[in-house]
Chains A and B, each alone.
Chain A
């Protein structure tokens, strides 16, 4: 009982500390810039970054760039999830299948995605597909292994119970393994969406004419550090929002898991 009463209190304390840690960073930023400790060229002031962001929002470019980047991240990540889910699930349950697939994936996941850019352009050209593929390459191989691991850690007794209750192979996957692994899978998804964002700049490095990664790269040429900061902060905020959305979604689809943990 007392355990339960303490919970909201602890939760509030956690949030307060989280917000405070952000405040400290912003305060430091203010100190460095308004205090004249670094030049405007290297670290633009908060007001400068804010006004640049407002300008970009006014002329609409911010929204277009956000949308293009979100779309690239989401499409690329979505297809990697669609492919990784069944492959990872079967890998976790079948030694033979794992023997075929695992070495290939372990090999591929060490290939730096940046180094694959020339080949993707050669094979796919420079349209949107190439950008989706870059993000797919960055997340798929990691996600397969994470799915395999999550599914592999499903309580074996639960699977045995299902089999002695008459479940066939397919039913075991659908009715037991998938729901049992779902909380862990949602965590895997949340983490890999974050990684997808880190590959965005790689995807928008070549032959892009919009996107948050693109404006950051372009600004380098003009030493427009205010735009770089604005782009970075925007990506960070989108990341936080995505994380939050996935957490809410997780709570909605696996409510039984919440009650057990925390």
Chain B
């Protein structure tokens, strides 16, 4: 892994103006700094409502920051682009396109020729284990399979950074574990740089090279933890000493966070 920074977020704040007259402004994010290095898998974990989705949308260019900057490969970005591919919890597949056409979408938008596009699509479909389903329509697939298509679709567009917004949040527990292992394998194989958000601590430790723990609103970075688990990233890791120690540490942090929130109320 090189030390080069793919994504640099510096001093990003987001303030939502009060909706009603005289209502106070709401600070959703406060001075967020984070970086993702080339080939790194970074997970942001935080309680619901801490503004982590807002942060990811700002990085993706779907929302604008009140202040601060987002830099991808040395360039400041403010609008959405193919350099930051996003995977959403709700899949967001195009229901009128087959699995193959969905995966080809990004390349088509970028003007890649038909044959080359198809070749790339088939490769990514194979990578996520959906060979044989190329011509199926999204509505014929299960939730887990839909999310596989979404991952293949985003990877096929060759983003610099893959942004994932609780992608497995809508899946049942068993499917979620299978998808986590698949994602770990696929991101390793494609040497992808990933920024992933979740509120699931197990998921965070299982996938991450590095974890940013966020505080409750206003969202700030509370702690940065390096994850250095010795064994392969699979569900077996969930019960090792190292895993549990790290999990306890993060749980304590989030628990203290919620205690503070309750005290200040």
Contacts and interface: CB of A to CB of B under 8 A. Distances in A.
Contact of A165 (B95, B140, B157): B157
A108 B40 CA distance: 58
A176 B94 contact: yes
Name the prevailing secondary structure of the A interface residues.
Answer: helix
Contact of B109 (A158, A167, A179): A167
A203 interface: no
B139 A162 contact: no
A260 interface: yes
Contact of A158 (B80, B94, B157): B94
B154 interface: yes
Nearest to B108: A175
A164 B90 contact: no
A256 B88 contact: no
Nearest to B158: A166
A180 interface: yes
A259 interface: yes
Contacts of B185: none
Return the 3 tightest CB-CB contacts between A and B, nearest first.
Answer: A166-B82, A165-B106, A163-B80
Contacts, number: 75
Interface string B130-164: 00000001011000000000100110010100010
A242 interface: no
Given A160-B92, A260-B95, 20 more contacts: A157-B88, A160-B80, A160-B86, A161-B93, A162-B94, A162-B105, A164-B60, A164-B154, A164-B159, A164-B163, A165-B157, A166-B81, A166-B82, A168-B109, A175-B109, A176-B94, A180-B96, A182-B96, A257-B95, A257-B96
Contacts of B90: 157
A134 to B, nearest CB: 36
Interface size class of chain B, counting residues whose CB lies under 8 Å from the partner chain:
20 to 34
B102 to A, nearest CB: 10
A254 interface: yes
Nearest to B89: A157
A257 B88 CA distance: 22
Nearest to B105: A165
Interface in A141-193: 155, 157-158, 160-168, 171, 175-176, 179-180, 182
B62 interface: yes
A176 B61 CA distance: 19
Contacts of A155: 92
A161 B86 contact: yes
A160 B88 contact: yes
